[in-house]
Homo-oligomer: A and B are copies of this chain.
């Protein structure tokens, strides 16, 4: 079911997987969209309420939260696959799109708190926590996508290694003189 993609997701396929028929589905869901919405909600609830890592406070807590996102286990791979596949539909529907944007912003807020805590402990250099949290989210998001496309190149160990390298660069103090920050990004 997680393997056939959103495009090939049909009521009859779902029913067959359940060992039932379309009658069951239409009995409980008024429409297909309702079913999909419920399924995505269920996926989200499950990922929220599943056991989370908790190895420490501050930077360790931030690392835990990021590790919880990565496709390190078969179930996490499935979840992330469904999640990425849903982006097509989400980007097509403005309502869904804003909903996704809100959820991602919430996720950034959660990370931001942990960043701030790590800063308070002196484990991270000062700087806008929201900014740093956003960067961490981007990094993990990109890693998720790449790991889904090429699991052989990004086994769990490599994913953790890459994440830790990223966190290591964060712990180092930035040198504000090296980069040209005033360039507006033109110059093509």
Tell whether, in the assembled complex, residue A55 and residue B183 are in contact, meaning their CB atoms are under 8 Å apart: yes
Best-surrounded residue of A6, A88, A160 (most CB of chain B within 10 A): A88
Q: How far is the CB of A69 from chain B (nearest CB, A)?
A: 11
In the assembled complex, A5 has its CB within 8 A of some CB on chain B? yes
Tell whether, in the assembled complex, residue B143 and residue A138 are in contact, meaning their CB atoms are under 8 Å apart: yes
Tell whether, in the assembled complex, residue B52 and residue A188 are in contact, meaning their CB atoms are under 8 Å apart: yes
Tell whether, in the assembled complex, residue B149 and residue A91 are in contact, meaning their CB atoms are under 8 Å apart: yes
Residues of B within 8 A of A86 (CB): 88
Residues of B within 8 A of A84 (CB): 87-88, 91
Q: Which of A17-25, A41-49, A109-117, A166-174 contacts B (4 or more CB under 8 A)?
A: A166-174
Residues of B within 8 A of A88 (CB): 5-7, 84-88
Tell whether, in the assembled complex, residue B181 and residue A150 are in contact, meaning their CB atoms are under 8 Å apart: no
Query: Digit string of A62-104 for contact with B (CB within 8 Å is 1, else 0)?
Result: 0010011000100000000100111111111000011011001
Query: Digit string of A164-188 for contact with B (CB within 8 Å is 1, else 0)?
Result: 1111111111111011110111111
State the A residues within 8 Å of B (CB). 3-8, 51-55, 59-60, 64, 67-68, 72, 81, 84-92, 97-98, 100-101, 104-105, 123, 131, 134-135, 137-143, 145-146, 148-150, 153, 156-157, 160-162, 164-176, 178-181, 183-188
